[in-house]
Structure 1
Amino acid sequence: MTGGAPAPAPPVRVGLVGAGPWARATHARMLAAGPETELTAVWARRPGAAAEVAAPYGAAVAGSFAELLDGCEAVDFAVPPAVQAELAVRAAAAGRALLLEKPLGPDPGAARAVADAVARHGVVSQLVLTKRYHPATRDFLRRAAAADVTGARSCYLHGAFLGGEFATGWRLAHGALLDLGPHLLDLLDAAVGPVAAVRGTGDPRRWIELTCEHENGAVSQASLSGSVRLPAARTRVELFGPAGELVYDTAGLDHEECWPVLRREFAAAVRAGRPGALDARRGLRLQELLHRALAG
């Protein structure tokens, strides 16, 4: 019997659902880069588009969603929220781990159905909250945990809804609240403290302003828009308190640093059978906060 380090775990075989710009630019490339994951197949309702996504990586094109499930251990979703919510429930019932986009679904009911299916079938789930996997974000949240925060201001702004391949139907219909809101509310909830109440003012398709009351008494505000012309997307969180100011700004972040971390942590969760904090339950909480903002 010989010693030495244990053999590395085999790559997690992942099937990708979707063939749009986000699937093509990020999801497929991330999964195929490995070594923790292997892109086994792509399925989309447009077979030709699925073939274009799969071809650079030698992945198969599944003829149906059922065929995709048969050939993988985990499913990665890069589709509109309503499609994700429907298919994720089926994938969970088949015992497949889920890599989920935000928002979890188009509304709280659909999001709850996904979270309930994940819990009922005991599968691993993880959210693609991209910025959360960047070292700078994690450093900010560590520092925020030690801060006494009185109030906070934040924004997530860009012009992608004004035109281009990311001005997709669901984004134009629902606006920045469903698309950008999960990112910013997640950061505020994590950095300032759990959000107890949230109110929204404005039009999510143009500009919406959120006011959050946190369980610790702090108050924060969030500005969201995908319809303003800027040189680059702007995400910024400013925390204020008796000890001074703590600022998180993504202007200098290389988002390419996020994907290897996301891939590695998802694969580790699948192999261990234990999800991290950014799972479907987190997605449901964010969805409920978004709904409260609209209702308020």
Structure 2
Amino acid sequence: MTIRVGMVGAGQRASEVHAPALAACAETEFAGVWARSHGASAELAARYRARAFESYHDLLEECDAVALAVPPAAQAELGAHAAHARKAVLLEKPIAGDIAGAENLLMAVDRGGAVSQVALVWRHAPAIQRFLDAAERTWPVGGSGLAISGTQTDESSASPWRLERSVVLELGPDLVDLLEAALGRVVDVRAQGDPSGWFGLLLEHEGGRFSQASLYARAVIDPPRAEVEIYGPGGATSIDCVAAVGREAYEAMYRDFAGAVERGTPPPTDVRHGLHLQQVIEAAETDLIRSGPSTIAP
């Protein structure tokens, strides 16, 4: 069975990441593109000999699922519309602009009985799976993570939503998700740092495990860095996530999405998990605002 997937959005993320992976996936058919700018959607569709739709409704009529690559607030609205039409949804992270939007999206998915998956692409890389297997053998008790990029160094080219919120909203979902996959669900979070600068997280995981994560998006650095280490009485293991996650991981993500749609069963990284990650991130932002800076006397 070939799953017809429509592309929603025609920006950089859609054109450089999602569209090539969607087109390369043998289990999916590139059903077409819709974006608020018809010119942009027509240009992207032409690269893949796909159809550019003039209305979102028309795209939904011609596909089994949609892959959304739009700003979080728009994604919550468009994703809910697709779910109400009983279309499966592949969601970028964060899944919505705020918790209320994420909760509404979850309700729409549940009511429509739609399959959902969040684009946590690290999870689909073979090297990441081997890392998680190795992490389990350490009998893990704790870990650490790091994500450093330059995505906010040029404010003129950065997406407005990325500049409006803390760096943890941009870099946090993949990092927190991988720490969770190795150590268990996050049950508490503490934060320190600068919302627009260096952001530190202390995460408590179920089962009495702990991890720390550092995030920064204003480094003049290429390529970016993303690393995770896990420790336990059985040893330690680490992974360079940038080196581990290439284009093949995005293609694997689409294969896994197509499989979930065909089975009618959402994966563990579904919209409910996306809401949980957003709750962790917003709890961190709230903790930072509430606690504020502190000074240690000399």
If the length of structure 1 is used for normalisation, what is the TM-score? 0.93
- Deviation per CA, 1:59-99, whole angstroms, max 9, x where unpaired? 11111111111111101100000000011111100010001
Counterpart residue number, 2:63? 72
In the aligned structure 2, how far is the partner of 1:149 from the partner of 1:47?
A: 50
In the aligned structure 1, how far is the partner of 2:53 from the partner of 2:242?
A: 39
Counterpart residue number, 1:272? 263
Q: 1:182 aligns with which of 167, 173, 179?
A: 173
In the aligned structure 2, how far is the partner of 1:134 from the partner of 1:164?
A: 31
In the aligned structure 2, how far is the partner of 1:117 from the partner of 1:251?
A: 34
Does residue 205 in structure 1 map to residue 196 in structure 2? yes
Greater CA drift, 173-182 or 75-84: 173-182
Q: Is the 8 A contact 1:204 1:225 kept in 2?
A: no
- 1:51 maps to a residue whose letter is A
C-alpha change, 1:251 and 1:44, in structure 2 (3 Å) is closer
- 2:139 maps to a residue whose letter is D
Instruction: Give the Å deviation of 1:166.
Output: 6.1
Q: 2:34 aligns with which of 40, 43, 46?
A: 43
Q: Is the 8 A contact 1:134 1:258 kept in 2?
A: yes
SS of the residue corresponding to residue 24 of structure 1 reads helix
Counterpart residue number, 2:274? 283
Q: Is the 8 A contact 1:198 1:293 kept in 2?
A: yes
Q: Is the 8 A contact 1:159 1:229 kept in 2?
A: yes
- Tell me, which stretches of 5 or more residues in structure 1 are unaligned? 1-8
Q: Is the 8 A contact 1:21 1:165 kept in 2?
A: no
Instruction: Give the Å deviation of 1:200.
Output: 1.4
SS of the residue corresponding to residue 60 of structure 1 reads coil
In the aligned structure 2, how far is the partner of 1:220 from the partner of 1:229?
A: 26
C-alpha change, 1:168 and 1:141, in structure 2 (3 Å) is same
Instruction: Give the Å deviation of 1:295.
Output: 1.7
In the aligned structure 2, how far is the partner of 1:166 from the partner of 1:72?
A: 32
Greater CA drift, 158-167 or 44-53: 158-167
In the aligned structure 2, how far is the partner of 1:84 from the partner of 1:21?
A: 15
- Deviation per CA, 1:165-189, whole angstroms, max 9, x where unpaired? 8621111212421111101110111
Corresponding pairs, count: 287
- Deviation per CA, 1:35-66, whole angstroms, max 9, x where unpaired? 21111111111111111111011111111111
- Tell me, which stretches of 5 or more residues in structure 2 are unaligned? 288-298
Q: Is the 8 A contact 2:155 2:163 kept in 1?
A: no
% of aligned pairs identical? 43
CA RMSD of aligned residues (A): 1.5
Q: 2:246 aligns with which of 249, 255, 260?
A: 255
Matches of residues 1-296 of structure 1 in structure 2 within 5 Å?
A: 9=1, 11-163=2-154, 167-296=158-287
If the length of structure 2 is used for normalisation, what is the TM-score? 0.92
Structure 1 consecutive aligned stretches of length 4 or more whose deviation exceeds 6 Å: none
